[in-house]
Amino acid sequence: MHALVLFLALSQGKVDPSDAFFASTKISRITIEVGPKELQQLRAADRTYVACTVRLDGGLVFNKVGIHLKGAAGSFRGIDDRPALSLNFDKFQSGQNFFGLDKVHLNNSVQDENYLHELICREASRAARVPTGRSTHALVTLNNRDLGLYVLVEGLDRAFLKRNFKNSTGNLFDGGFCAELDQPKKLLTGPKGQKDEQADVKNLMAAAREPDLLKRLERLETLLDIDRFWDFTAVEQILCHWDGYIRNRNNYRFYFDPSNKNRAVFLTWGMDQMLGDPNFDLRGMAGFLATQLMQCPGQYFRYNEALRRAYVNIRPLNLEARVDEVAAKLKPVRDVTGGANDLKNRLRERYKVLDRLIGELPPGPPVFDASQSAQLDEFRPGMESGPSLILKAACQDRTCYYIRSSQEAAATWRNTVSLDRGKYKVEVLARAENVQGGVSLRLSTGQKSRALTNTTGWEKLEVEFQVNAPQEVALFLELRGRQGESFFADDSIRLIRLP
């Protein structure tokens, strides 16, 4: 009865009925009736809509609902098996909706036997302000066959766009199965009578192929909401979405938003295999648009800021408690206690890694002056082997990064900078006293300065290096050897951008 009661109650008020539906603590029973002719059509053409009747517990009936099968290589099942289904309530009957939704998907969850990933990760994605369809659960019966528990997902259509964008009249595309942007895209919704509905997609791909990096960025700025694209990327990476656009050019949708000069916004999809590896890195990218954009000036830093934004919104969520809440809701129909405990453990382990990875992100790009020079400070001490004394100390009217060793040891002062493509030089004034070994400047990219040994005055150590793609470069002020003291003048450490 709860579905009918909910429907009647919402019809009396101004509350968005879809909000109340997804917030309900009850699991709906959805009964689908497909006629013999339509059933045969689904066997012959599983992606073509046919009409069906949908009934909810409590007597609520929807007639002439469009239905077709869905799913890709891992999740597709035939109509006589336990299929994943799409229901389009206004396909054949204009204006008909399901609690304010035009379209819903019923996922058979064959790749997530605990039925938890879609709901939890979609809520995290929405919290990070990436437009994402909502999720809940339903019990499904098809032609008197009890198919059991399904994951119900909000469809991405005009109704979804109205809830998430100021203007819902733009083109919304399905990215396709493991298909890059240069492949033809299925238009999910958009204006009728377009001369070339793929034109915006082609223009976006052409801009990404522009060989001149400054021109590429300028063109992409007019076609893509870049900050929102990096937000989308950050969410996929934080949640370990190995089968999304960024890592696999799969499971994605994108919308050309008329309210934002028709710039493209990417939308998360297919979140049933998430959080698999707690050490999932934040840098790996396979999607062409992501890799081409990352090469452009300043994008490494914009992506870092997106990672921080997303994590600030996701980290405070009590997702472990939410997992318990959903598991308790499912328990009368399916006990997922073991899977819930596993997912909570994955969340804890992932948070440990993310706390470190995002905590270590450099604060921002170096600020170069008119001479293309930037002073570097805030080096952190570290010991690689053996005992050493490491501190900041006064030395000959200077403040220095100081290291002293009395036996075989290696110790450093370290800083990390984020750099765009280009040629650079790092330089520092250093001094050695009674060093048996070497005092040097070393980079994580492999280059190393000459080494100071024995006792010296102040001498300049420098390293030139090339950055071929935006990346983080660690700088090490190093004393390595059997004994001695090293001094690095803190006001002399400079990064210079070379022509």
In a domain, 349, yes or no: no
Are residue 421 and residue 276 in the same domain, yes or no?
Answer: no
Cα–Cα distance, 214 to 255 (Å, whole number): 25
pLDDT at 288 over 80: yes
pLDDT digits (tens, 9 = 90+) for 221-231: 999 999 999 99
Same-domain status, 105 and 182: no
Strand, helix or coil at 489? strand
pLDDT, tens digit, 9 for 90 and up, residues 228-245: 999 999 999 999 999 999
Name the burial class of residue 477, with classes exposed (0-12), middle (13-18) and buried (19+) by CB atoms within 10 angstroms of its CB. buried
pLDDT, position 8: 46
SS3 content of the chain, % helix, strand, coil (to 5): 30, 35, 35
Question: What 3-state class would DSSP assign to 366?
Answer: coil
pLDDT in tens, 31-41: 999 999 999 99
Instruction: Give the pLDDT confidence score for residue 362 in this predicted structure.
Output: 80
Contact 17, 99 (CB under 8 A): yes
Per-residue pLDDT at 9:
46
pLDDT band at 489 (very low <50, low <70, confident <90, very high): very high
Interatomic CA distance for residues 87 and 89, integer angstroms: 6
Q: What CA–CA distance (Å, rounded) separates 409 from 479? A: 8
| Total structural domains within the chain | 3
Shared-domain flag, residues 100 and 186? no
Could you tell me which residues are beta bridge partners of residue 443? 475
Same domain, 197 and 155: no
In terms of residue numbers, what domain contains 283?
Answer: 167-317
pLDDT at 3: 52
Same domain, 129 and 172: no
What is the spatial distance between Cα 473 and Cα 466, in angstroms, rounded to a whole number? Answer: 11
User: Within its chain, how far is the Cα of 454 from the centroid?
Assistant: 51
Note whether 208 and 273 are same-domain residues.
Answer: yes
Asked which of 71-75, 83-87, 135-139 is least confident by mean pLDDT, the reply is: 71-75
Note whether residue 356 is domain-resident: no
Distance CA 266, CA 250 (A): 12
Please indicate, yes or no, whether residues 190 and 158 belong to a single structural domain of this protein: no
Residue range 318-337: mean pLDDT, rounded? 97
First-residue to last-residue Cα distance in the chain: 73
Q: How far is CA 287 from the centre of its chain?
A: 12
pLDDT tens-digit profile of 101-143? 999 999 999 999 999 999 999 999 999 999 999 999 999 999 9
Residue 403 sits in a domain of what CATH number?
Answer: 2.60.120.260
Average model confidence (pLDDT) across the chain: 94
Q: Same domain, yes or no, for 147 and 208?
A: no
Say whether pTM exceeds 0.85.
no
